Amino acid sequence: MNQVTGEQFILGCSAIGAGLAMIAGIGPGIGQGFAAGKGAEAVGRQPGARSEIISTMLLGAAVAETTGIYGFVIALILLFAKPLT
């Protein structure tokens, strides 16, 4: 039976960690969908406040997206950084 070397183990753990880091994309997707739905409801109720509602919604979506971007950056670092060199 083949033995797993330390290098193979570290690279495997890095790949698993990158996959787990990408789970961070689920939250922003749900949050942005919820925000867009509530923004559409608010514009439907008060069409006169459309510009204020949209700007507030876009600011909230940008803040929510940062967690997904952070998770993506961590996944890229885990996949492409060479920890053993």
DSSP character string of 39-68: HHHHHHH-GGGHHHHHHHHHHHHHHHHHHH
Q: What is the pLDDT of residues 21-50, one digit of tens each?
A: 999 888 888 888 898 898 899 999 999 999
pTM comes to: 0.74
The CATH number, out of the four listed (1.10.287.110, 3.30.70.20, 3.40.50.1100, 1.20.20.10), of the domain defined by the range 6-80: 1.20.20.10
Query: Per-domain residue ranges for the chain?
Result: 6-80
* Confidence (pLDDT) at 11: 87
SS3 content of the chain, % helix, strand, coil (to 5): 85, 0, 15
Q: What is the pLDDT of residues 60-85, one digit of tens each?
A: 888 888 888 999 999 999 888 876 66
Pick the closest to residue 57 from 42, 28, 40, 35 (CA basis): 35
- Residue 84 phi/psi, 5-degree rounding, is -105, 0
